[in-house]
Structure 1
């Protein structure tokens, strides 16, 4: 596969387009916002020019930006062989989008759902190709993370799994296959950890800096749970915890009220300049 559709030009979609083009793939990058597409194109061009200083490892860094077609029209997905969807972690948005993708993309095209928590089988049911829908939970930032959580839905075929693992390998990634469940492996554990860390701050047990120091200095984690939440985006964290709470109907997934208030206040983390920590623009 050489022509890949990437739907959603946010941080994840931009990072994915960057990684794919760095390894020679052509990308059709779709977003409803022209501004988001312009920002994505600028980021890819910057990486093309300064990738050697930013840790680029792909063999085809030269000409990366020329291998990206930016568009606001889903009809431009008619030529892609594989598609990765990266829009906001909202079931209502995904529910509305997938019938449109199903109509726009070729019948043989595989749909990879880049989601933190929404069940893959639930998404696949919105298409006429349930055997060709799979979960690919990329980690942020995509260019720096070599491993992807690959989720098999109820109807996902072995051919789809094989094609997905082959494509991942073709741009320097490896996949760990798991079965479908809300949150999969990574976020059933991670979201509980982050949510509990937020409760520690809300309850006055420790300041954010000290919560994270316990994890980085005592456990050797590269990043503490609250800095991780800021990196992912507190809005995305809240969406993910809400999905777990809704699907499992278990009180242990109840979002911390402080998390909800911070999202209501627009304190999303790195992308807004302020979350549990402050970031330079």
Structure 2
């Protein structure tokens, strides 16, 4: 069995094939370790728990994001680093810039003046609202799979928007009390740090809803659904989709852009 690895060393990028037929291979990560130990000690990659929990070993195999520790290699597989991340060496990338997006959606806990308990415990029903989103391991697979980042490098990306929805459904970070009469009000998303404000620009409206993020998530989280939920709450809160103002539905019409010609007959 042969594996092709996209190498990045000393300013050069190239493909190199390795024959792993004689090596002990159970997962792609095991194959990479075997190559490093017995064939080429300069091969560089990231790994951590080896159990699909830490997300450190995320790579692209045949153009699809996956965790190396969970993937069973096939003959002819091509392995390369994640998209949209600076490559440090071979399969190892710098995730710092991508994960900076999380800072834009981090809220502050709300202290309830009526309660003597600081951050009271959640009920099972409340916790269930964001249980799945909390399972994100920040492997960056969804970020790498997102086509929007190819044209807009400032896009927040799927995992940041999933994190935004996670906090938006946590009562410890949200309140029903409006913060300002001059800002839109939402039934669940008003907080000292406005989660909705944070995701309007380069956020929920830039997403194409293609679902690639959902397809590659190893934790079975659905960022596409989370983004749609944030869109719905934004509309209820008084925010508008900025894309609608630039769309045209054809002409002639009544001036509303819907392509209806009153003189065309029926």
TM-score class normalised by the smaller sequence: under 0.3
Structure with the higher fraction of residues in helix conformation: 1
